[in-house]
Amino acid sequence: MSSEAAPDPEAGWLPGARRLPSPNCDERPRGEIVRLVVIHAISLPPDQFGGPGIADLFTNCLDPAAHPYFREVHALRVSAHFLIRRDGELIQFVPCSMRAWHAGESAWRERARCNDFSIGIELEGCDSTPFTDAQYQALQRLLAELRRHHAIEAVVGHSDIAPGRKTDPGPHFDWRRIRDVDE
């Protein structure tokens, strides 16, 4: 019998968030801690809100026949830890103890592979539309909770860790609305 304790199946799941487990995750490197939060924006189909597309993408259930754009992305194997819908609903796809596949090729402070040491938060949105008050309120609560449990050093945008490749969370994201949480 191993002297190591079995992993806690509840570890890393945030109470109050709706769980939709994604298979698109794996173990963080041994000894790695969460030190970064990456803010993303996503809408599926592009510039449309409210449908099942994002959850379907993150759970590998996206129907390529449901929309022309889905044919381009349905085979991607991606996820994030959290999604905040336009109405503020919080959905969790990956426990914080695991590595979600959200950042892709990325670097922060000259360190590559941001997925190893970050938590990814998707906001339902796009570059052309402001985010909602409900989203900022949910994000503020989530960041405060993450700071209570992790050694968060910074909150950055996807565009900060993948410049030239990514633009999210985009020009309408108001960083001032989370500044007090990030200090």
pLDDT, tens only, 103-157: 999 999 999 999 999 999 999 999 999 999 999 999 999 999 999 999 999 999 9
Question: What DSSP character marks residue 65?
Answer: T
- Is 137 part of any domain? yes
Q: Quote the tokens at residue 164.
A: 């030239």
Residue type, 56: D
In a domain, 13, yes or no: no
**Cβ(84)–Cβ(135) below 8 Å:** yes
Is 183 one of the annotated active-site residues of the chain?
no
**Catalytically annotated residue among 122, 124, 145, 153:** 122
* Residue 157 lies inside a defined structural domain of this protein: yes
Q: Is 110 exposed, middle or buried (0-12, 13-18, 19+ CB in 10 A)?
A: exposed
d(CA 112, CA 114): 6
Q: How many CB atoms lie within 10 A of CB 133?
A: 10
Let me know: does 41 contact 125? Beta carbons within 8 Å: yes
pLDDT tens digits along 26-45: 999 999 999 999 999 999 99
Examine residue 6 and state whether it is found in any structural domain, yes or no.
no
Asked whether residue 1 is domain-assigned, the answer is no
Q: Which residues share a beta bridge with 36?
A: 118, 154
Q: Which helix (H) or strand (E) holds 36?
A: strand 36-42
Average pLDDT rounded to a whole number, residues 67-93: 98
Chain-centre distance of CA 91, in angstroms?
Answer: 10
Q: What's the pTM?
A: 0.93
* Residue 11 domain-assigned (yes or no): no
In a domain, 4, yes or no: no
Q: Which domain holds residue 134?
A: 18-182
Give the total number of structural domains in the chain: 1
Chain-centroid distance, C-alpha 159 = 13
Asked, for residue 171, whether it belongs to a domain, the answer is: yes
Q: How far apart are CA 62 and CA 59, in angstroms?
A: 8
> What confidence score (pLDDT) does residue 183 get?
47
CATH number of 88's domain: 3.40.80.10
Residue 8 in this model has a pLDDT that exceeds 90: no
